Amino acid sequence: MNRHHYLCQGCAQPLFVVATTQAGKPDLRWEIDHQDEGNRGCSVLPLLPLLGEATQPEALEYAMDVLSPLRR
Ligand SMILES: [Zn+2]
């Protein structure tokens, strides 16, 4: 299990990102949601939790709507 850190594009609050490896599959299973479940006013709340299988979270459907651009 790996952890990545992103901010929510809707409310700028931190997101937790959990990636679970799958035996025999190159894709990881992702679960992305607010760390604080109290963000009722967040504009992307209908898209959360963001679930899916991909090699990286940016490849998930709606990822570009939810994940803020990576800070360098
Ligand atoms: Zn949010």
Residue 43 CA, ligand 1 centroid: distance in Å: 7
pLDDT in tens, 21-59: 999 999 999 999 999 877 789 999 999 999 999 999 999
Each domain of the chain, given as residue ranges in start order, spans: 2-66
- On whether the pTM is more than 0.85, the answer is no
Residue 25 CA, ligand 1 centroid: distance in Å: 30
pLDDT at 4 over 80: no
* Gap between the Cα atoms of 15 and 66, Å rounded: 9
Q: With 0-12 CB in 10 A as exposed, 13-18 as middle and 19+ as buried, what is 24?
A: exposed
Q: What is the mean pLDDT of residues 6-24?
A: 93
